[in-house]
Amino acid sequence: MKYQAVIFDLDGVICFTDEYHYLAWKQMADSRGVYFDREINNRLRGASRMETLEIVRERYEGPALSAERKAELAAMKNDIYRESLAQMSPADLSDEVRSTLDGLRGMGLKLAIGSSSKNTPFILRQLGLGSYFDAVSDGNHITRSKPDPAVFLKAAEMLGLAPSVCLVVEDAVSGAQAGHAGGFDVACVGDAAKARAGEYNMDSIKELLAIAGK
């Protein structure tokens, strides 16, 4: 087989937390009188927490915010978000994703997560995947978010493998760009697949079984 490992983005690939993010940012923005809608929210995908705050603040018309106040607002959003994530359970992991992960592992492939989210460990525990992956690279390990390849390169390093034998799975164009920047092949679902951003552009994540088996 060409690949020895598969590195997954989390949101939009393994699970779907976009609505939780939107509602949390919306609540935080509304509390500060800042306009925020779903169109703005769509620009946040793949960005770090502080990068996201800067996008949300583009409609802010008040006085300049200190670094400390920015950190407080980001923490406020994250507290709201984590409270909503507490509702997640293994039932939120689709049968298709679960069977695909198990199938890839059955083929002898290593599996990893490469996500900019600092909440990745918490989400994985809620989904019942707390100890499932061979490596978890997330926002706690990097300072540069996608399209910088740092999070994927860190995952490959944790696995002890070269990027050339790891396949990245992404749903965002910026994530696909990050994979390519790091020297990885990329399999895309969702918006990234529609944009034909990867070497493989899938209608369903289960197509990974055939791709990885080549």
Q: Which residues are catalytic?
A: 9, 11
Nearest residue to 8 (alpha-carbon basis) of 118, 97, 91: 97
DSSP annotation of 124 reads H
List CB contacts of 183: < 8 A, sequence separation 6 or more: 149, 162, 163, 164
Residue 185, helix vs strand vs coil? strand
Give the whole-angstrom CA distance, residue 7 versus residue 5: 7
Residue 128 phi, psi dihedral angles, 5° rounding: 80, 20
